Amino acid sequence: MIDELINSLNLIITQTKNNSTVLAVILIIPWLVFLLTSLDKNLLYVLGITPRKLRGLPGILFAPLVHLNFNHIFFNSIPLVVLSNFILINGIYYYLVVTLLITLISGICIWCFAKRATHVGASGVITGYWGFLVVNIYQSGSLTTYILGLLSIYYFAGIFFGIFPQKKGVSWEAHLFGLLAGIATSYLLQFYPTYFLLPQQFVPVY
């Protein structure tokens, strides 16, 4: 048990170091988009999700990159990088599949069911990551998964409360659909791995 714990911790530390460049890119991209939207506010409406409007369809893919102001992107940056790192433990391809599924599932649900507004920000995807990691405690059962899931709960438990209606101007629907998308993604990868993952991704982690 002690050896397994040490192996899991070493794996997390090693992979975190290896993923530093990828994590930097994950952080830089939304900040670059933020600079662009600061120069042209119209991009907020072009890249955001506007429910049940054709012009809002591109936002299903691009809305997570767009943020309204400095506080919005600053407070999303930390959980985005940390939770991305936890998922990257299983490799870049695994991370991309998880991110794409969460983005598409949550984005489509927002477009179909959310209130009439322009929905932007990475918080929906972040909530999806959190839900994915927490549900994986049950789905996977490996010690590494337990550690990552428990760290997610301990440090980012407040993410869960974002799924409830709060102050005006906050897209609680994005948080709710993000959480549901994360849970759905965990089950999809568990029951239909051949559709989403390459064969080498089936190697169990410690």
- Give counts: helices (H), strands (E), the chain: 10, 0
Q: What is the pLDDT of residue 190?
A: 82
Q: What is the pLDDT of residue 205?
A: 39
- The answer to the question of residue 5 being in a domain is no
- The answer to the question of residue 186 being in a domain is yes
CATH number of domain containing 178 = 1.20.1540.10
- The answer to the question of residue 206 being in a domain is no
Q: What is the pLDDT of residue 11?
A: 79
> Domain range holding 30?
14-194
* Burial category of 116 from C-beta neighbours within 10 Å (exposed 0-12, middle 13-18, buried 19 and up): exposed
Q: What is the pLDDT of residue 202?
A: 42
pLDDT along the chain (206 residues), means of 10: 73 87 97 95 91 95 95 95 93 94 97 94 96 86 81 86 80 94 93 65 41
> What is the total count of domains within the chain?
1
Q: What is the pLDDT of residue 149?
A: 87
- The answer to the question of residue 87 being in a domain is yes
Q: What is the pLDDT of residue 73?
A: 96
* 53 within 8 A of 117, measured Cβ to Cβ: no
Chain-centroid distance, C-alpha 66:
14
DSSP bridge pairs for 119: 49
Query: What whole-number distance in Å separates Cα of residue 110 and Cα of residue 59?
Result: 10
- The answer to the question of residue 6 being in a domain is no
Task: Provide the percentage of residues in the chain whose pLDDT is more than 70.
Answer: 91
Q: What is the pLDDT of residue 169?
A: 75
| pTM of model > 0.85 | yes
Q: What is the pLDDT of residue 204?
A: 40
Q: What is the pLDDT of residue 141?
A: 66
- The answer to the question of residue 18 being in a domain is yes
- The answer to the question of residue 31 being in a domain is yes
